[in-house]
Amino acid sequence: MTNHRLSVEQKFNLESAFREIDACEDIEQLRQLTKQIITAQENEKAFAREAIVQIRREVEASAARRFGFA
């Protein structure tokens, strides 16, 4: 897995999670942890997608004002 431009804090959190997973011997706990991780990942993707849409709208509105279209 490639870690693109993770901050020190993100790397620390990742390593902490990996250690927790490695130490876990309870399959139900692993299932719950996996579900939490997948949910968090999908929520982050949704947030990023919405942020991109909002930024695009703001850029387009700014360009329209600048060129007299609004």
Tokens 């309870």: give the residue. 26
pLDDT at 70: 62
Residue 57 has pLDDT above 90, yes or no: yes
Q: Is the pTM of this model over 0.85?
A: no
Residue 33 has pLDDT above 90, yes or no: no
SS3 content of the chain, % helix, strand, coil (to 5): 80, 0, 20
Judged by DSSP in three states, 23 sits in helix
Residue 16 has pLDDT above 80, yes or no: yes
Distance (Å, rounded) from C-alpha 24 to C-alpha 20?
A: 6
Of 15, 48, 20, the C-alpha closest to 32 is: 20
